[in-house]
Structure formats: C-alpha cells, structure tokens
A and B are shown apart, each in its own frame.
Chain A
Amino acid sequence: MYAQLVKSSGKGVKSLEEMDPQERAFQQRIDAGDKIEPKDWMPDGYRKNLIRQIGQHAHSEIVGQLPEGNWITRAPTLERKAILLAKVQDEAGHGLYLYCAAETLGVTRDELFEMLNNGKMKYSSIFNYPTLTWADMGAVGWLVDGAAIMNQVPLQRTSYGPYARAMIRICKEESFHQRQGFDIMMKMANGSEAQKKMAQDALNRFWFPSLMMFGPSDKESVHSAQSMAWKIKMNTNDELRQKFVDQTAPQAEYLGLTVPDETLRWNEEKGGYDFAEPDWNEFFDVIKGNGPCNTDRLNARRKAWDEGAWVREAMLAHAEKKRAAKLAAE
C-alpha cells in the first residue's frame, strides 16, 4: 500500500537499444527476475523513485497509527484493546523495516521524517479521514488493510531486494490485521441496532476513500510504465482496484451491509463487478492538504517530533559520554 501517487523521474520507458550498456545490463537483470541489492549499480531514477515510494509507504505506517490510536483508549473490551495495541505496534514495526529499506538507498530516517514534516513527502490519503466510531476500527482493518494487501502482495516480488523482503514480513501481519478488522465488522453488523448503524456508517464513509488508495487510473501514465518496467510497481492501479472490489463486495453482502454505490453489480461477461469511480476531485483535494484531517495528522506528527527533540538529543549525548568513557578506560 500506501504509495498511491508516485511520479517517476523518467521520461517514459526507453527500449533496450536506447539504453547505455550499464543501464541495459541493469534492465536485463530485472527482466530476468534478479533482485537488485543496495551495493549494485542502479539508475538515478530507479533510486529516486524507490526512495519516494518506500518513504511514502513508511510514512503511511507511521501516520496510520494516529487514526487507530484515536480508539485505543476507548476500545470496548480488554481483548479488543490488546488486539488494537498489537496492531498499532505492528504498524510502527512496519515503518521501521521500511525506513531501514529506504536507508539502504542512501537517505537517512531523519531526512525522511523532515520531508514528511515539511510536506515534501506524502503518506496515504486514507489517513486523512477521521475515525468516528468503534466500527471504524473494523472498517480500517477490513477495507484499508484489505486494499493495502492488494497492493503489497505483488510487491513481495518487487525488484529491489530490501523492499521485497520487508514486504514479505509486512504482508503476513497485514492479513492478520484484515481478519481482525473483519471480525470487528461482523460483531457490529450482527449486533444491536446502534452497532449495525455504526457498521453501515463506517462502510459508507470508508468505501470510496479505500478505492482511492489505489490511485487514479494509470493506464496511459508514462510514470507507471517506467515503474512497471523496473518492477517497483507490479500491476496497474485499475487492475488492483478491480481485484479489491471483486473481493470486498461479496464480503459486504455477507455482513448484511450495503456498499454505498448503486451502480455496483456483477458483470458476468468481464467476470468482475462494475462499480462507480470515486470522486477524483476529492482525492486531489486530500492530496493537496484539504482532507478532513490533513492538518491534524501532520500537526500531531510535528508536535511529537518537536517535543521529542530533547529526548533524542539526550540519548545521543549519553551514548557519546559512554563511548568517551569506554575509550578513556582502554
């Protein structure tokens, strides 16, 4: 997930003949299914693109803690609280693997945080939507993590070794999260009238933003073509969105909930659902910073970073003193 609008710096895909020998050899390795490792030569565009994509993904994990953290202190049972805590802890862990993967490309975690905090790097637009009821914890797990998995499973085969390996660990945990989310939805959908209402309301609010998570149609995009040639993007946005709807629509039916799309119906001929596109104007508004929670999410991150400065400085200073004392003793 979570890298929904990454523009590559390439100007379209070059043919093998147009490439210089080094670039050609690189592309041939990718075509042969080789993994690229940190010390290998790689084109600048590949490196830059990956930093943006992995960074966006890492930031999404970190910012994604906030809408769920919003309900940890109000979780309705001890078990639900523990499950949610475990989930948020996993997400912070995913952030950590991904920042480490990005660091192998020559950018530091602090630089990436800086770019998140000053708005130069994005995170998934889904986290700019509020979590208003407990059912939203179900919807986030079921829909948001569900959409993330759609995106991430293919990325386990991505060409960059550290990214692919991080993705394998992440996918295992994400599937678990999705099942937990669905379990919350099931409890709610089969619960009291008030709980059913919460469940339906959560689906109403999260359906289209979840479809947006795959990014706008990129069939004609030269940026996407380049990323696909480099195997840092494995499917088009539309393919993944279709797959997501095909998986999710029957689940909604099973829950007895109504997907907020009157045009949603099974199309026998294409073997998939027809469905309405999300409002892409809303998507671009959210990306630009005008989503319901953009300001709050970023301010929360900045506040955490600023208020934590003294802790980071102190830990460095202490480590430095210890190192000096050890040297003096030797």
Chain B
Amino acid sequence: MPDALFEYLLRLGDNTLVLGHRISEWCGKAPILEEDIALANTALDLMGQTQLWLGLAAEVESKGRSADDLAFLRDVWDFRNVLMVERPNGDFGHTIMRQFLFDAFHLPLLDGLQNSSDQRVAEIAEKSVKEASYHLERSADTVIALGDGTEESHRRMQSALDLLWPFSGEMFLTDAVDDALLVSGIAPDLSQIKPIWSKTVEKTLREATLTTPEDDFAHSGGKTGRQHTEDLGHMLAQMQWLQRAYPGASW
C-alpha cells in the first residue's frame, strides 16, 4: 500500500485539526477563566501537532501540497478524523467528556508512535506525547470533578458519556492502512492500545461515579472517509472560507 503512510498521517493530523478547531470555538466563553486558558492551551497544542502531522503528510505525498493546502483545501470526503472529534461541542461537560475519551486514546497511541520505525513519525510523537499527557491529566480530573460534583453535573456528565460512547469505538477499528503500518513497524497495534484506554476510562469513570454504557456499538466512517457526520461540512465551511473565497492569496 504505497499511500498507507499518507493516509495514516492524515488520520493523525485530522484528529488534532478537527478537535483543536472544536475546542477553539470555546474562546472567551468558558465557565471559569482558568478553563478558558486551559482550553485555548489545549487547542494550541493540537494545532501545533496538526502542523507537524499534516506537514509530514504533505512531504510524504510529495505532490507539492502544503500542510495548509491539506487543512484548507480538502473537502469532507478527504478528511480522515474519527467522527467523535467532529461532533459539536454541546455543553462544557460534553466538550470535556469528548476530550477525555480522546486523550485516553491519544496518549498511549503517541507513546507507541515514539518507537516508530519512521524517524520523522517518532520525533513528532515524542514532542506531542508530553502535551497529550498533560491533556489527559486535566480532562480526567475534570471528568471526575464534574461527575462527582452535584446532582446536575452528574446528570450532565452521564448524558454526555451516553451520547459519546457509540463514537468512541471507531478509534480502535482497524483496516488495511493500520495493518500495513503495523507490519512495517511505523504504527503501534491498536488492539494493544484498546486495553490501556479501557483501563484509564474505567478507572476515571468509577471515580467520577459515572456508569460505563454496556452497548459496544461503534459508529464508523470517519477515519476511512467513507461517511462523515453532517457537522463536518459546516465546520469546513467556516474553517476553509477565506482560503476558498480568495484562492492563491498569501496570508
């Protein structure tokens, strides 16, 4: 699979791009000033990682496209992020729950990628893993505080978890791209990341006094690009507007 690495890098870069964009929508509107700062900080980290992953994707593709071309000039069907990260923010609890479910996956994934046989991938992972570790610490703590806090916050967090749960499984679904990268030693085995994720999630949800949903149905189609949600098109309409409206301009 000659394009497997390119596809894989898009998955990594689109996850951080789309989630970073979603979080940046909170700017100036968080419940507490410290949360405003933390959300902006997380979004900033994710945008930085996006620049690196999509930059490498562009390099690997070697068709003269840049990271910006990939971010701003691809259409919905070419995006490779998991569906969960493109879901709208909802309330603060929903945003934090989505962040937590992603962080709990992102950290072990990056940890594994540090040992990638591709030096460039390993370097980006090494830089990103520190950020992801901080993100997880923070989102897990917040999930615990809000799950445990008051009756209302508990109810909101449980409802966020129930809504997001069917979107969490896609992170661990594998296809030919994952298989090819696993064989070449570029990417870690997702079946080994899953138990790490489950352990973090179970531990955190227990502390947060939340009930893990039993249904393991997983929506899919994001990371393969087969079928995104309606929400992604709206996000891209906003995110890509300037580049699309004024083609070729330098900003």
Q: Which residues of chain B are within 8 angstroms of A311 by Cβ–Cβ distance?
A: 31-32, 35, 92-93, 146, 153
Q: Is the interface of B mostly helix, strand, loop or mixed?
A: helix
Instruction: Out of A63, A73, A86, name the residue touching B239 (CB < 8 Å).
Output: A73
B27–A315 CB distance below 8 A = no
Instruction: Out of B17, B43, B92, name the residue touching A308 (CB < 8 Å).
Output: B92
A79–B51 CB distance below 8 A = yes
Q: Which residues of chain B are within 8 angstroms of A93 by Cβ–Cβ distance?
A: 37
A243 interfacial contact with B, CB 8 Å:
no
B40–A92 CB distance below 8 A = yes
B48 interfacial contact with A, CB 8 Å:
yes
A308–B31 CB distance below 8 A = yes
A281 interfacial contact with B, CB 8 Å:
no
B31–A76 CB distance below 8 A = no
B145–A315 CB distance below 8 A = yes
Q: What distance in Å separates the Cβ of A226 from its nearest Cβ neighbour in chain B? A: 31
Known: A93-B37, A311-B31. A82 touches B149 (CB 8 A): no
Instruction: Out of A77, A96, A308, name the residue touching B72 (CB < 8 Å).
Output: A77
Instruction: Out of B35, B93, B146, B243, name the residue touching A76 (CB < 8 Å).
Output: B243
Q: What distance in Å separates the Cβ of A64 from its nearest Cβ neighbour in chain B? A: 8
Q: What distance in Å separates the Cβ of B55 from its nearest Cβ neighbour in chain A? A: 9
Q: What distance in Å separates the Cβ of A299 from its nearest Cβ neighbour in chain B? A: 11
Q: Which residues of chain B are within 8 angstroms of A192 by Cβ–Cβ distance?
A: 246, 248-249
Q: Which residues of chain A are within 8 angstroms of B148 by Cβ–Cβ distance?
A: 314, 317-318, 321
Q: Which residues of chain B are within 8 angstroms of A82 by Cβ–Cβ distance?
A: 44, 47-48, 51
- Count contacts between A and B, CB distance < 8 Å: 149
B67–A191 CB distance below 8 A = no
B36 interfacial contact with A, CB 8 Å:
yes
A194 interfacial contact with B, CB 8 Å:
yes
Segment 6-61 of B: residues with Cβ below 8 Å from A: 17, 21, 24-25, 27-37, 40-41, 43-44, 47-48, 50-51, 54
Q: Which residues of chain A are within 8 angstroms of B28 by Cβ–Cβ distance?
A: 62-63, 65-66, 69, 88, 92, 300, 304
Q: What distance in Å separates the Cβ of A160 from its nearest Cβ neighbour in chain B? A: 21
Interface string of B81-96 (1 = CB under 8 A from A): 0000000000111000
Q: Which residues of chain A are within 8 angstroms of B54 by Cβ–Cβ distance?
A: 78
Q: Which residues of chain B are within 8 angstroms of A313 by Cβ–Cβ distance?
A: 149-150, 152-153
B24–A89 CB distance below 8 A = no
Chain A residue with Cβ nearest B152: A310
Known: A76-B251, A308-B30, A311-B93. A318 touches B43 (CB 8 A): no
Known: A311-B93, A311-B153. A187 touches B31 (CB 8 A): no
Chain A residue with Cβ nearest B237: A74
Q: Is the interface of A mostly helix, strand, loop or mixed?
A: helix
Q: Which residues of chain A are within 8 angstroms of B32 by Cβ–Cβ distance?
A: 308, 311-312, 315
Interface string of B120-162 (1 = CB under 8 A from A): 0000000000000000000000001110111011001000000
Chain A residue with Cβ nearest B248: A192
Q: Which B residues contact A (CB, under 8 angstroms)?
A: 17, 21, 24-25, 27-37, 40-41, 43-44, 47-48, 50-51, 54, 67-68, 71-72, 91-93, 144-146, 148-150, 152-153, 156, 238-239, 241-243, 246, 248-251
Whole-angstrom distance between the alpha carbons of A80 and B17 in the complex?
14
Please, could you name 6 A-B residue pairs with CB atoms under 8 Å apart, sorted by A? A82-B48, A85-B43, A191-B250, A304-B30, A310-B156, A318-B146
Q: Which residues of chain B are within 8 angstroms of A194 by Cβ–Cβ distance?
A: 246, 249
Whole-angstrom distance between the alpha carbons of A88 and B39 in the complex?
11
A314–B72 CB distance below 8 A = no
Q: Which residues of chain B are within 8 angstroms of A195 by Cβ–Cβ distance?
A: 246, 249
A81 interfacial contact with B, CB 8 Å:
yes
Instruction: Out of A66, A96, A314, name the residue touching B37 (CB < 8 Å).
Output: A96
Known: A80-B251, A315-B146. A65 touches B239 (CB 8 A): no
Q: What distance in Å separates the Cβ of B138 from its nearest Cβ neighbour in chain A? A: 13
A307 interfacial contact with B, CB 8 Å:
yes
B152–A314 CB distance below 8 A = yes
Q: What distance in Å separates the Cβ of B187 from its nearest Cβ neighbour in chain A? A: 23
Whole-angstrom distance between the alpha carbons of A314 and B250 in the complex?
46
Known: A72-B24, A77-B68. A310 touches B29 (CB 8 A): no
Q: Which residues of chain A are within 8 angstroms of B150 by Cβ–Cβ distance?
A: 310, 313-314, 317
Whole-angstrom distance between the alpha carbons of A312 and B156 in the complex?
14
Q: Which residues of chain B are within 8 angstroms of A184 by Cβ–Cβ distance?
A: 251
A134–B40 CB distance below 8 A = no
Whole-angstrom distance between the alpha carbons of A271 and B44 in the complex?
44
Q: A76-B242, A310-B31, A321-B148 are known; give 14 further A-B pairs, CB within 8 A.
A: A73-B24, A78-B47, A79-B68, A92-B40, A184-B251, A191-B249, A191-B251, A194-B249, A308-B32, A308-B92, A311-B93, A314-B145, A314-B148, A317-B150
Known: A85-B44, A318-B148. A69 touches B30 (CB 8 A): no
Q: Which residues of chain B are within 8 angstroms of A75 by Cβ–Cβ distance?
A: 242
